Amino acid sequence: MNNSIHQNYFFVCPQPLVRKKYLVMKMLLAQLLFFVRNKEAKKNVALLLRFLFFLTFIIALYSISFHLIMLYEDRNFSMITGFYWTLTVMSTLGFGDITFSSDLGLLFTLLVLVSGIILLLIMLPFTFIQFFYAPWLEAQSQSRTPRFLPKNISGHVLLANFDSLTRNLVKKLKKHHYDYTFITGDQHKAMEIYDAGYKVVLGDVDNPETYQKTRAAQAALVVATADDLINTNISFTVREISEIVPIASSADKEHSLDILKFTGNTHVFQFMSMLGISLAEKTIGVVDPNIIGRFQELLIGEFPVRDTILTGQTLAQSQLRQTLELTAIGILERGQVLPPNPQTILAPTNILIMAGTQAAMDRTGRQLAVSPTEPPADPSVLILGGGRVGQAAAYFLQQNSISYKIVEKLATVNKGKAHCILGDAADINTLEKAGITKARSVIITTHTDAMNIYLSFYCRQLRPDIQIVTRATAERTMSKLHRAGADLVVSSAAMGANSIMNLLQPSDVSIFSEELNVFLVPITDALAGRTLVEIKLREQTGCSVLAIKTNKRFLMTPDPTAPLAKAGELLLAGSLEAEKIFRQEYLK
């Protein structure tokens, strides 16, 4: 898939103790070199030395003055006693074992005490921290944060922004053995990323030298998910280093699409619009399956069970393969992908994940939908939040002739737009005015997870039978949203990470979700000559057979009683764990 990259960028040492000593020596050397090479650090050290020289001079001057005043009082002490007295008075310790008896001596003591407070207790700590300790900490941080990648690295992914999407993407990259590196020009941000357990390189994202040092020309992909201006700058910068490395970028605004494509981005995603469409596709009334992935001519789609003839049937009774030439590869229930057990009774809250051709998908909605016995509700869908996500959902519903209302509290967003209700979605009067009592579905699109949880619970209390589809910014809130009453939750971070991850997929794997992927494997000796009925892959491994590939063509509905030919390949679907079991069992 890609070159294996060592966990440490710079060396591999078989002896842990020697390796630890090497790291310590290397870090100390890097810190010392920082004070030698860095102009600002050298200037700071020079200022600190000047202050220490001045402080030493003052202490020596006070010690000599001590002897002179003591001689004036007809008393004699050693030079060491002079330094001892000066330091005890300047540091405000004042043991009192040596004191002056004359007014001149007492005035001198006050001078030494006040100057000691200023020089030792105020200026020395400040000067030491400002000109040495702070630069030393910076040097220590920089020695822990690499500024380049090894020359032999290739097939890695460069991430030019640290956010929830790229963090989610890193999880998938690790699972599929892709190396990655975050890039940031902020030292403190780099340390935060490093301390969080991620790989990071310190360098400005708009500096061509950064991409030279991170071997962008040898990378599998460069990912830019900042704002449109920064992403444009990044793409221009990367293209100075390589004209062929793929660049995946996000676009916030519609007019930025052409600009980002012009600057050399291979793939440009409008994740907010994609999120809105994804939410709308899952609502009741959309009869066509929601296509979530594609493997050559094979499509993967989601189809809600509610208001279809499938409700209350088992998978075996539905006969999807026989009547529609579709294969059920999973059942989505409140965020969890369940295995497609033939005896599972399909509930209204279930969503079937099915695989088949475009033709099979096209006829699914028409054949499975229940004919309505009453006119459609108006509105059929209530959208809470009129931002970019809400507007994208509304546009999709309008294109599919599904009535909707948008609830938005900002007058600037609502002004002059049809289907909009001005008000707070948490106010029952606003919701009733918008049609919460009639709507069949509600889409919650606010950008705050806490508000989405609140609105999900509120709508569920108002309407126990309504379908609730909501977005989640952080994946950790998905389970909370389901507990609050949401039927379907779409994570913007997971959706974006899946979209980018599918750009990296090799020819034998396609990743659709955290719990579902499609992969192509050869028919080995352990499978050749046996029928699918005999092998019972779903029961033994949890994998579903989608198609058989022979002579570069896919047979979408293979005969389960026909022996498998060794020259062919199997197209399978299952979780990562199911794939692991299959490979261990049949691809040893």
pLDDT at 268: 92
- For the chain, residues with pLDDT lower than 70 are 1-38, 40-41, 136-144, 285-287, 370-375, 413-418, 505-515, 588
The fold adopted by the segment(s) 39-143 is Helix Hairpins (1.10.287)
Give dist(CA 244, CA 216) in Å, integer: 10
Cβ–Cβ under 8 Å, residues 422 and 409: yes
Give dist(CA 516, CA 574) in Å, integer: 5
CATH of domain 157-269: 3.40.50.720
pLDDT at 220: 93
- Residue 478's nearest CA partner among 296, 332, 309, 288 is 332
Question: What are the CB-based long-range contacts (under 8 Å, 24+) for 71-74?
Answer: 72/102, 72/104, 72/105, 73/100, 73/101, 73/102, 73/105
Q: Which amino acid is at 33?
A: L
Residue position matching structure tokens 């950008």: 447
pLDDT at 286: 66
**574, 576, 582, 584: CA torsion to nearest 10:** 180
Write out the H or E segment, with its range, that includes residue 520: strand 516-522
- Residue 445's nearest CA partner among 388, 357, 385 is 385
Numbered ranges of CATH 3.30.70.1450 in the chain:
288-368, 515-586
Write out the H or E segment, with its range, that includes residue 570: strand 569-574
Residue 269, beta-bridge partner list: 250
Give dist(CA 315, CA 86) in Å, integer: 92
Give dist(CA 70, CA 74) in Å, integer: 6
pLDDT at 330: 83
Cβ–Cβ under 8 Å, residues 381 and 404: yes
| Phi and psi angles of residue 64, each rounded to the nearest 5 degrees, phi first | -65, -40
Residue 308 DSSP one-character state: B
Numbered ranges of CATH 3.40.50.720 in the chain:
157-269
Omega of the bond prior to 379 within 30 degrees of 0, cis? Answer: yes
CA of 545: how far to CAs of 95, 289, 519, 549, 560, in Å?
88, 20, 10, 11, 10
pLDDT at 13: 44
| Phi and psi angles of residue 229, each rounded to the nearest 5 degrees, phi first | -65, -45
pTM (predicted TM-score): 0.69
Residue position matching structure tokens 């699972």: 175
User: Would you list the DSSP string of 367-425?
Assistant: HHBPPPSSPPPSSSEEEE--SHHHHHHHHHHHHTT--EEEEES-HHHHTT-TTEEES-T
- Residue 517's nearest CA partner among 527, 495, 502 is 502
Give dist(CA 12, CA 6) in Å, integer: 7
* 515-586: in CATH 3.30.70.1450: yes
Numbered ranges of CATH 1.10.287.70 in the chain:
39-143
Provide CB contacts within 8 A for 133, sequence distance 6+.
Answer: none
Question: Could you tell me the CATH superfamily of domain 288-368?
Answer: Regulator of K+ conductance, C-terminal domain (3.30.70.1450)
